[in-house]
Chain A
Amino acid sequence: MTASTPRTAYWRGFRAALPFTIVVGPFGLLFGVVGTEAGLDVAQVMGFTVLVIAGASQFTALQLMQDNAPTLIVIASALAINLRMAMYSASFAPHLGRAPLWQRALIAYMNVDQTYALSHADYEAAPSQSTAAKAAYFFGASTPIIPVWIGASALGIVVGEAIPPALALDFAVPITFIALITPALRTLAHVAAAVTSIVMAILLSFLPWNLWLLLAGLIAMMVGAEVERRMGTRP
């Protein structure tokens, strides 16, 4: 693994990401369908999909717009969901901080849950890879994910209501996240963080504006870090 060149890293990322197109596809499709139903025109749906590329926040914005929430509340709530990506960005910094600026900007633009989780897992498994190889892995993982996301949304605009609700496409979202988390539960500290995260999400669910999500995440990270410190081992 330590000998991975940018080329091999790129294709390793590409292959790892390929299966996730199966779930990114329906998720993007769903946004196209729901956005069109909500009255957005083609340019607006695609504007969301291409400029934001963050499904959960896009659905949140859509929901609040339909509830006629004030513009500022819509923006603030949707951005709060994406605040987790500041932590993604920070956890990439030690691995990709030395990459050229244009690469870091491109990585930031395409840093979604799937590309992040796959890349971070790879960097943790093989930390001594070169920065170029790490960046290449990320770009490899993005190659199938991002175009499928954008293409599926466009398709969703076209096929619209032909999709039966019985397919329960909404559930592709949590299922994807569960699938992304489980391989990461390698140590007691990771398990403790995940369990804390779930318990806190339930206990704090009364908090408004997605504050519960940010707090639950923060507390879970502290629990994971503390367990790791007490065990005295690096995962």
Chain B
Amino acid sequence: MTEIWIIILALGAGTFVIRFSFLGILGNRALPLWLLRHLRYTAVGILPAMVTPLVLWPEATGGQMDPSRIAAASLALAVGLWTKNAIWAIVVGMATLWGIGWLMG
């Protein structure tokens, strides 16, 4: 019981410190150009890596490759690139997954 709360509090405090770090401490100081150049690619550098195993080896299928999930992710990516609209990408992605699931019974 107490262990769970230790985990919750440590994770909450630790996550806040991580999020506050540069924004809170560096504050007004100007960052060097080379660092700024790297920071422009944080989102596109980390999010695809985080998505990759979730698409290729999803936990819901016990880590087995699932063609319907790969198709859904590919279509979401294609629609996102084509429309530049996040919500259409999400709608098409989830609809693909449900559609294939429904067709396969």
Contact = CB atoms under 8 A, between A and B. Distances in A.
A182 B59 CA distance: 24
B51 to A, nearest CB: 5
Chain A contact residues, majority secondary structure: helix
A128 interface: no
Name the residue in B20, B77, B86, B87 with the highest tally of chain A Cβ atoms < 10 Å from its Cβ.
B86
Interface of B: 3-12, 14-16, 18-24, 26-31, 34-56, 58-60, 69, 72-73, 76-77, 80-81, 84-87, 89-90, 93-94, 97-98, 101
B76 A178 contact: yes
A93 B59 CA distance: 35
A53 B38 CA distance: 26
Nearest to B14: A79
A87 B22 CA distance: 8
Chain B contact residues, majority secondary structure: helix
A51 B12 contact: yes
Interface residues of A, number: 98
Given A75-B7, A181-B48, A225 B43 contact: no
Contacts of B35: 90
A185 interface: yes
B20 A93 contact: no
Contacts of A223: 41
A155 interface: no
A20 B59 CA distance: 23
Given A189-B41, A193-B44, A225-B41, 10 more contacts: A89-B18, A89-B21, A90-B35, A109-B16, A168-B60, A171-B60, A183-B85, A195-B48, A198-B51, A220-B44
Nearest to B48: A197
A126 to B, nearest CB: 15
B15 A79 contact: yes
Contacts of A205: 53
Contacts of A74: 7
Contact of B90 (A65, A84, A85, A176): A176
A132 interface: no
A193 B19 contact: no
18 contacts: A44-B4, A44-B5, A51-B11, A53-B15, A87-B46, A92-B23, A94-B36, A97-B23, A167-B98, A179-B87, A180-B43, A180-B86, A182-B86, A197-B52, A201-B49, A218-B45, A224-B44, A225-B37
